[in-house]
A and B are shown apart, each in its own frame.
Chain A
């Protein structure tokens, strides 16, 4: 795509073990990233079939400026989510965007199902279908290690893999990318598992001459200096995203014990500062990002008598600290790292897993379920039992855990407790009980993530907004993020990449566009995603809102369900009008 008028798409048919490459000029209108991926998903998805049917598709795409400027590091994956049954969209960093760019593919479309477990090795010249039968059942760490040692290309290579949860098609199974990044949300791991794909490696070393060095490097340097020398990105590097733990707790917006409360009595032991002081051992970066927001913590595990210890390293961020920490009443940073380790090895989404266990704990307290179902007592703060429960989910250990592996919304329809199954349209909640922006934003958002439109940030703004202003702001921001995700800029850098910077960065590599073009790109992608959602049968008016969101006070007080529903209705009308126009 870079310096070319076409988007290069690699189609892989796993059933036939055939590949096809198409250079598509028509996709240029979608710019790249989520735009191209949405279009390819729309073309290849089968709305009438189950999300895990082998005829379904998984699409990966990089953007128009991927990895040539600082912090443009993300790859998007799109699929039908086995968790929600509708639009699946997830982003991962690591080395993947760079290797796809270097291998010369703007997008990959996977369809079909391999006869036997396989791992794909993708290079510029070929796609190898390798036998992964001996890798099936292996945890995500071990698979990474085996492939790292077996395959060439260290440093120029990206390795994606699933754990047991993906193999067993848990609806929120994740895909680990290069050890410390993930396609976390909405179950891409299950989609790969359903296709018998245990891992994918991508290696690239293409020659890509810079067309206009002087102009390109001037813009590169300005962006580099902006992200490293100014305050903009500091918070992501220093304490990192866990800086939010103390902030949200102070606001009364830190979801705690299945959102029974918005503050946590043991918060001091699990703040970003607590992790930094006690556990932090190094920081890492995605390739092409000089910020380095990835925080790796270490804890010591005693595995035998006679002072037998092992040191365990685990990546941590705000979201897993909320979902596997405060949400489950876990009192120490060491214990949270232990739970994150279990989630990493099994290959689960940390957020959905923690929130599902929060529901299970309360359902157990309320005797909707007993140890007949849970196998171990589930109580807030009981780390060891949660570790066993995580493995039980990943391995679909009994009927109950099989159900829990389909998500908390589904499980509550079977066992009861829907009022406290904390989901936004079937996707487990994120860590911000801040107000209408968060609740409504996540429900109306294309993939029901807090990152669709950043509603939680609206709730924290100084200016109190009227409900229609919140709805307007959510819609505007979602379109803006569609545009950013077509590039694909890491959203942490969204303030560094203002529109003038994006226009200059594009111009330096020969892409001429203006402010109105950027708006149009955002709109076009947004409408494509809304159309996909409609084709998959999603209707905003049918979404059920768990009572708990309207009982536990948020940053902006106790929320009113009627108001939330009114806002959702306003949003639905706005979108319907736009789609009909």
Chain B
């Protein structure tokens, strides 16, 4: 399922039905956890019957990656096609990457003490029943 050259894009979020299958499967596959809070993609809602859902997820920056730039220990390295890969051994858990992302797409895994970084693996897209998510060629 890992697709190095592709980038996840939440393109059609107006179609989202709010099932959270993307979050449940991301947390399961990438963190082996049942908790929604462990997902790299986060679906937010403003509530109400007409409130739309939005996806907060790594945009796959291609130029300067703010998260990597903020990392003092070199634990975030550029990923081919966009975004970053986490080198867990080098991560000190300082959370500077969390603050650095302008989208708020990086969250922190309290149990492992490491950030939750989107791998652009496409599992969320595979388990989206309403075609909201797309894996774009980088």
Residues of A whose CB lies within 8 Å of any CB of B are: 2, 67-68, 70, 98, 101-102, 141, 144-145, 148, 154-156, 179-180, 205-210, 213, 216-217, 220, 224, 228, 281-292, 294, 296, 311, 313-315
Q: Is the CB of B28 within 8 A of A213?
A: yes
Top 4 nearest A-B pairs by Cβ distance?
Answer: A285-B19, A292-B17, A313-B49, A290-B129
- Whether B18 lies near A148 (C-beta < 8 A) is no
Residue of A nearest to B129 (CB): A290
A283 x B36 contact (CB < 8 A): no
Tell whether A207 pairs with B110 under 8 Å between CB atoms, given A145-B47, A156-B37, A313-B49: yes
Interface residues on chain B, size class: 20 to 34
B111 within 8 A of A: yes
In the complex the two chains form, what is the Cα distance from A70 to B49 in whole Å?
A: 23
Contacts of B95 in A (CB 8 A): none
B43 within 8 A of partner (CB): yes
Tell whether, in the assembled complex, residue A291 and residue B129 are in contact, meaning their CB atoms are under 8 Å apart.
yes
Q: Are A313 and B50 in contact (CB under 8 A)?
A: yes
Residues of B within 8 A of A (CB): 17-21, 24-25, 28-29, 32-38, 42-50, 110-111, 127, 129-130
B37 partner residues in chain A, CB cutoff 8 A? 102, 156, 205, 207
Across the interface, which residues of A come within 8 angstroms of B45, CB to CB? 154-155
Which of the residues B29, B33, B110, B127 comes within 8 Å of A290, measured between beta carbons? B127
In the assembled complex, which residues on chain B have CB atoms less than 8 Å from the CB atom of A141? 48
The reply to whether B18 and A285 contact each other, CB–CB distance below 8 Å, is: yes
Rounded to whole angstroms, the CA-CA distance of A180 and B47 in the bound complex is 10
| Known contacts A224-B21, A288-B21; A217 and B42 CB within 8 A of each other | no
The docked-state distance in angstroms from the alpha carbon of A294 to that of B17 is 9
In the assembled complex, the CB of B30 is this many whole angstroms from the nearest CB of chain A, namely: 10
In Å, the complex CA distance between A494 and B127 comes to 21
- B18:A154 contact, CB within 8 angstroms: no
| Bound Cα distance A102, B36 (Å) | 8
Chain A residues, Cβ within 8 Å of B43 = 155
Chain A residues whose C-beta falls within 8 Å of the C-beta of B38 in the assembled complex: 207
What's the minimum C-beta distance from B103 to chain A, rounded to whole angstroms?
Answer: 15
Whether A210 pairs with B32 at a CB distance below 8 angstroms is: yes
Q: Considering the chains assembled together, what is the distance between the CA atoms of A156 and B18 in angstroms?
A: 12
Chain B residues with CB below 8 A from A67, complex form = 24, 34
Alpha-carbon distance between A550 and B19 when the two chains are bound, in angstroms: 43
- Given A154-B45, A155-B43, A315-B49; A217-B34 close (CB under 8 Å): no
Interface contact B28-A283, CB-CB below 8 Å:
no
User: Is B19 in contact with A289, judged by CB distance below 8 angstroms?
Assistant: yes
A-B contacts, 17 of them at CB < 8 A, read A67-B24, A98-B36, A145-B48, A154-B45, A155-B36, A155-B44, A179-B49, A207-B37, A210-B33, A210-B34, A213-B32, A220-B28, A282-B17, A284-B17, A288-B24, A291-B129, A292-B19
Task: Report if A217-B29 is in contact (Cβ < 8 Å); known contacts: A292-B130, A315-B49.
Answer: yes
Across the interface, which residues of A come within 8 angstroms of B18, CB to CB?
284-285, 287
